[in-house]
Amino acid sequence: MTKKDLRKRQAELESKGQYDVDMNEEHRTFDALPIDGDYHYLPVKFSEKFRRLWLLTVVKILGPVITWFSLGARVKGRKNLRALRGKGAVSVCNHVHTLDTLLVKNALGSFRVFNTGSYYLIKRGWAGRIFKAGGFLPVGTTFTDMKNLQEAIGTLVQRGKIVNFYPEHALWPRYEKLRPFKQGAFHYAVKFDVPVLPLFIEFRETKLRKFFRMQKKLIVHILPAVYADKEGTPREQARRLGEKVFAAMSEAGERCYGRPIAYNAQEESDVSQESACADATADKKERKSAKREEYRADSKESGLAKESAENT
């Protein structure tokens, strides 16, 4: 998909309000590894644990180097991660780059963070083993799948791990707005009584990258953790938590870009501008109409005076 095709596709989905649809219409469901039956979300066998150890060691060493050279990636706000003091959490991040899973690992720790994603992304054979060793938690479609995922998340946060979600669901490469959130991440945060750690990926233009016609560099902002309030039902708590996190990420994005980035903020701004323009146009028409009436009245009064003078 070229950059032009990508922007066209994004504009098309925006106009339809289909913010959770992938850029590619066909889901890559071929050769997906079954996650029912005896599938374990967390490593159980010695071979799985050993594979995870060496893979994440490599990621920890080379991940930041790869993303810095290829994307100019940097991380800001690590103090907000340290503020968790090793406790478990749910993290959320805008889904805007094919390497954002690696970016999240670089920001939060390769051994500490686990990433969720659609079940069809984990394949049979070595590809699936590597994905699983990296901490990938497939989100299935059946009740059993969701139950197993929930148990895995509960175990991980109790161990002080961070489970990352992409609440926008679909990957929109290099998209600089914030799309509507699904509620899954906030449901788990409320259920297991852990905070949500928001991450916001910013695309920043620099003079050097612009001169060399390079793509904007990536900045991963770790924002302060957001906690759920305890009033109302779990569903209500999750909804309000999601709204608070969305607001925090929207504000962070607005500070980065100097403009509203929420999917509906620009629309509301445009509507306000259109309304203001319409009001100004109406006022201008009213003023012109009043002037015309005043001119006619003056002309009529002048004509009557002239006629009266002639009669006398």
* pLDDT higher than threshold 50 for residue 102: yes
Least confidently predicted of 53-57, 180-184, 242-246, 302-306? 302-306
* Helix spans in 97-180 (H): 100-108, 126-133, 143-158
The per-residue pLDDT for 307 is: 46
What mean pLDDT is predicted for residues 114-143?
92
According to DSSP, the residues that pair with 221 across neighbouring strands are 76, 200
Cα 85 from Cα 183, distance rounded (Å): 26
**16-32: per-residue pLDDT in tens?**
999 999 876 666 677 88
Which one of 22-36, 203-217, 241-255 scores highest in mean pLDDT? 241-255
* pLDDT higher than threshold 80 for residue 299: no
Using pLDDT thresholds of 50, 70 and 90, give the confidence band for residue 209. Answer: confident
Distance between the two ends of the chain, CA-based, in angstroms?
88
Burial class (CB in 10 A: 0-12, 13-18, 19+), 106: buried
Phi-psi region of 122 (alpha: psi -120 to 50; beta: other; left: phi over 0): beta
Which numeric CATH code is attached to 3-263?
A: 3.40.1130
Least confidently predicted of 38-47, 53-62, 240-249, 261-270? 261-270
The per-residue pLDDT for 272 is: 41
* pLDDT higher than threshold 50 for residue 268: no
The per-residue pLDDT for 297 is: 55
The per-residue pLDDT for 283 is: 54
Helix (H, G, I), strand (E, B) or coil at 299: helix
Cα 287 from Cα 264, distance rounded (Å): 34
The per-residue pLDDT for 310 is: 41
What mean pLDDT is predicted for residues 212-216?
88
* pLDDT higher than threshold 80 for residue 301: no
The per-residue pLDDT for 114 is: 98
- CA of 30: how far to CAs of 27, 33, 193, in Å? 8, 9, 37
Least confidently predicted of 131-135, 162-166, 219-223, 297-301? 297-301
Contact assessment for residue 220 and residue 76, using Cβ atoms and an 8 Å cutoff: yes
Mean model confidence pLDDT for the chain: 87
Cα 187 from Cα 204, distance rounded (Å): 32
Using pLDDT thresholds of 50, 70 and 90, give the confidence band for residue 309. Answer: very low
The per-residue pLDDT for 306 is: 44
